[in-house]
Structure 1
Amino acid sequence: MSLSDSLTIVQPQPDGSIPVPQAAPSAEQVAATEQAAQALQARAQELQNQLEGLQQILNKPLSEILADREKALEAAGAWDAFGAMWVLSQRAMRRVAMDLAAQQELSEAEVVARAMRYANAVLNTEDETLGGSIAPAQLAHIARHKAFLRKQFRQG
């Protein structure tokens, strides 16, 4: 490397001051800068995708946006009502089961164990309908959630 290769000619700034030359960045600094630039580019792309999604929503007429919201609220209300009905029917059926068990001098633990066996039979056996009390559409619904339900109905 000759002396002329290491010399830098600087131009004075408009105020007459001379800028201090910066040393050339190291390979590590260049790599870190490139990595940061790539991360910023990825984040910018992510934000651009979010912006496009929001723009699609905003391009809809307000009446359509509100109609979608109204449909979602109606669906949530229907599921909430269904949940209440399900809880009530389960509690009522539990009471019937416990009353019948008491007449047969069975304990609550025996009733629960029998219910767990039935639940596990449905979860672990193809085509188990508990004597026809589970409709095909209900079996399909159960099948979609088997992994979750198996965790709930584990025998301990």
Structure 2
Amino acid sequence: MRQAPELKGSATHERLRRAFDVASRSAQRYLYLATMAEIEGRSNAAGLLRELAETEAVHAQGHLDLIRGVGDPVTGLPIGETDQNLDALISSEIEEGETVYPSMARTARAEGFLDIADWFETMAKVKRGFAARLGELSEMGSGADRS
């Protein structure tokens, strides 16, 4: 009997991560463009774009389902029970709030893009807030909303 190959670290693993990124970005682009179409009074276009956004989100979830056994495609941390998932999300939000967005803000400010720097700084605050909210939920423990 042939043993299944190890997904983690394989080229297929990397392609699944990329596919997840692409589908996730596409879903958000479609939603954004649907909003623009709605503002322009193009309800047919907005409806189709929202439908396609939902389909792209389903695609992203499919990719994530295939990759979940080897870890979160963003953090590499395990995907499993909600407590594990919260820990991975907290880790990601902290990194984005304390490192990623502040670095982007510094670069934008240094290049003279002050409005963009302000936006990145706002995003850093939002991400730190997300981390705090997720942390509060995590501290409640696994029995928090079970009857």
Q: Quick check: TM above 0.5?
A: no
TM-score for both structures, normalised by structure 2: 0.33
TM-score for both structures, normalised by structure 1: 0.31
Which of the two has higher C-alpha Rg?
A: 1
